[in-house]
Amino acid sequence: MAQLWGGRFTKETDKLVYNFNASIGFDQKFFHQDVQGSKAHVTMLAKQGILTEEEKNQIIAGLDSIVADVDAGKLEITSEYEDIHSFVEANLIDRIGDAGKKLHTGRSRNDQVALDMKLYVRDEIKELDELVKKLLVTLNKIMEENLHTYMPGFTHLQKAQPITLAHHMGAYFEMFRRDRSRLADIYARMNYCPLGSGALAGTTYPLDRAYSAELMGFAGPTMNSMDSVADRDYVIELLSAMSTIMMHLSRFSEEIIIWNSNEYQFVEIDDAYSTGSSIMPQKKNPDIAELVRGKTGRVYGALMSILTTMKGIPLAYNKDMQEDKELTFDAIDTVKGCLALFEGMVSTMKFRNDVMENSAKHGFTNATDAADYLVNHGVPFRDAHGIVGRLVLYCLDKKISLDEMSLEEYKAISPVFEEDIYEAISIKTCVEKRMTIGAPGPDAMAKVVEWNKKYLEEN
């Protein structure tokens, strides 16, 4: 059992205890970050005269050879080692001898693991951001192509008012834009280096923590050594942001599932993102959307787990905090997978424009505009509301839409109606006269599409 401690112990750790305590099975995921941190650390130690230049060069060459062998499959990370730190250090000593034993000078596993986790999370935030951005590019393309694609807008899953597909997609664009801003906020807030904090109280070695931070692209060193090794706020924040991303994906998935149903038929999901039934040959199931919706609970669970783990931990480091890794790694992989698959599904999905427009026409989505017509002709709004309500009842009884009523039928309910009612309640008019920024009018939406393009180019 290769471990970095044991001098004060008189007997070996029980095998079950060792296995329960070990983290090599999952913390090997930040092997490259561990080496990156070690190289920065020894570079700083040499600058400060704590190591010689020759020792620094030996250690860095040894670390590089370990990375090369692991990446090439010549060296396996196995459960022989307690954690990734002991794997790297033990192999380094095997390769370069006593110089390798100086790697850990002025450093504890507490600040080492805090650094590794920050480096890993920082890298993953960049990848998550790129995936969200790719989805935004796809959504804006759909928006640009569907400025005049009419569909019903819903409240309470009831048809409410006519909008465009561009407008509907634009709502999700705003959600995922906010998701990117949350990721950027987390990155900026967490981007301070804990290396040099030691176990909890720093070290007596004359470390240059600012230099170490600079070598790894941090904004600077952390300001309290106890907080540095005890902080997992950035993990909680990332899991929270990812939970919000998954919530947005899940809402979107729910709508796609509904739109894909036989009753709606607003969309057709590409065969590459659908599955069939083992018994019913006619089925084409939206499994990707359903799985994204389902995996949302998995990410929520990771957030609840780390919050529960951290809530009762005193300062500074406690072994409970080892629990942050598996759930965070799993949640990151889950969200990345969902984003990639979801973008592929949406980018290949076919929208049934004719079905959506027909649904808007026959769902009384222009009823509010009929009431506005009466108001513009001098009828008090509350009276207009009641008149249009009677129109809807009449249409339901006759199984027709407002557009299909004759002028005589209109006048039988209110003499205020004239021939221009048909223009006033056409789906095209209902949408196009809503021209304030944020509304579905095509001119307003065209401006939003251009703003979105500029945002994507600059961010």
The architecture that CATH gives domain 108-356 is: Up-down Bundle (1.20)
CA 79 vs CA 19, 193, 313, 325: distances in Å: 9, 29, 28, 17
- The conformation of residue 163, written as its DSSP 8-state character, comes to E
Q: What is the mean pLDDT of residues 440-458?
A: 97
The backbone torsions φ and ψ at residue 150, rounded to the nearest 5 degrees and listed phi first, read -85, 145
128 has a pLDDT exceeding 80:
yes
149-159 in b/e burial notation, b at 16+ Cβ within 10 A?
Answer: bbbbbbeeeeb
Amino acid identity for residue 349 in this structure:
M
Q: Are 202 and 196 in contact (CB under 8 A)?
A: yes
pLDDT value at position 15? Answer: 62
Q: Cα separation of 119 and 31, whole Å? A: 11
Domain 13-104 bears CATH identifier 3.40.50.10260: no
Say whether pLDDT at 377 is over 80.
yes
Chain center to CA of 348: 21
Average pLDDT of the residues in 191-207: 97
Catalytic annotation present for 86 = no
Tell me: pLDDT of 13 over 90: no
Confidence grade of residue 369 (pLDDT, cut at 50, 70, 90): very high
Q: Cis peptide leading into 316, omega within 30 of 0?
A: yes
Rounded to 5 degrees, φ, ψ at 422 are -65, -40
Does residue 309 register a pLDDT over 60?
Answer: yes
Q: Which residues pair with 162 in a beta bridge?
A: 152
What is the Cα–Cα distance from 24 to 5, expressed in whole angstroms? 16
Percent of residues, the chain, with pLDDT higher than 70: 95
Cα→Cα distances 132→248, 337, 343, Å? 11, 11, 9
How far from 445 is each of 132, 135, 173, 236, 440, CA to CA, in Å?
A: 21, 19, 12, 36, 6
Q: Could you tell me the two tokens for 206?
A: 């004359």
pTM of the model: 0.92
Residue 14's pLDDT band (boundaries 50, 70, 90)? low
- Gap between the Cα atoms of 326 and 311, Å rounded: 18
Q: Residue 152: enclosing H or E segment and its boundaries?
A: strand 150-155
Contacts of 97 (CB under 8 A, 6+ apart): none
Q: What is the pLDDT of residue 278?
A: 83
Active site residue 156: yes
**Rounded distance, CA 344 to CA 321, Å?**
36
Residue 361 clears pLDDT 90, i.e. is over it: no
Bridge partner list, 81: 2
Q: Read off the pLDDT of each residue in 167-176 and give the average, rounded to a whole number.
A: 98
Does the pLDDT value for residue 76 go beyond 60?
yes
What's the pLDDT at 151?
97
Confidence of residue 395 (pLDDT cuts 50, 70, 90): very high
- pLDDT of 383 > 60? The answer is yes
Model confidence band, residue 10 (pLDDT cutoffs 50, 70, 90): low
| Residue 18: predicted pLDDT | 54
Catalytic pick from 104, 148, 156, 305?
Answer: 156
Alpha carbon distance 440, 431 (integer Å):
6
pLDDT tens track for 272-289: 999 888 888 888 899 999
Q: For 96-111, what is each residue's pLDDT tens digit?
A: 999 999 999 999 999 9
Q: Taking residues 68-94, report their average pLDDT.
A: 95
Using alpha carbons, select from 122, 127, 125 the residue that is nearest to residue 216.
122
- List, in sequence order, every residue forming a beta bridge with 388; answer none if it has no partner: none
363-456: CATH homologous superfamily? Fumarase/aspartase (C-terminal domain) (1.10.40.30)
Report the amino acid identity of residue 105.
Answer: T
- Residue for token pair 């004759």: 406
Q: How many CA atoms lie within 13 A of 426 on its CB side?
A: 8
Rounded alpha-carbon distances, angstroms, from residue 32 to 29, 47, 341, 385: 8, 23, 27, 66
Q: Which residues pair with 2 in a beta bridge?
A: 81
Q: What is the mean pLDDT of residues 74-86?
A: 94
The residues that bridge with 268 in the sheet, in sequence order, are: 350
Confidence of residue 1 (pLDDT cuts 50, 70, 90): very low
Candidates 86, 108, 277, 377; catalytic one = 277
Q: Quick one: average pLDDT of 369-383?
A: 95
> How far apart, in Å, are the Cα atoms of 106 and each of 44, 95, 103, 110?
11, 22, 9, 12
List the domain boundaries for the chain.
13-104, 108-356, 363-456
Handedness of CA 272, 278, 283, 285 (dihedral sign): negative
The tokens for 78 are 């196995």
Average pLDDT over residues 236-243: 98
**pLDDT surpasses 90 at 362:** no
Write down the H helix ranges in 146-276: 165-190, 209-215, 225-230, 233-260
Q: Which two tokens stand for residue 331?
A: 């949640």
420-438: per-residue pLDDT in tens?
999 999 999 999 999 999 9
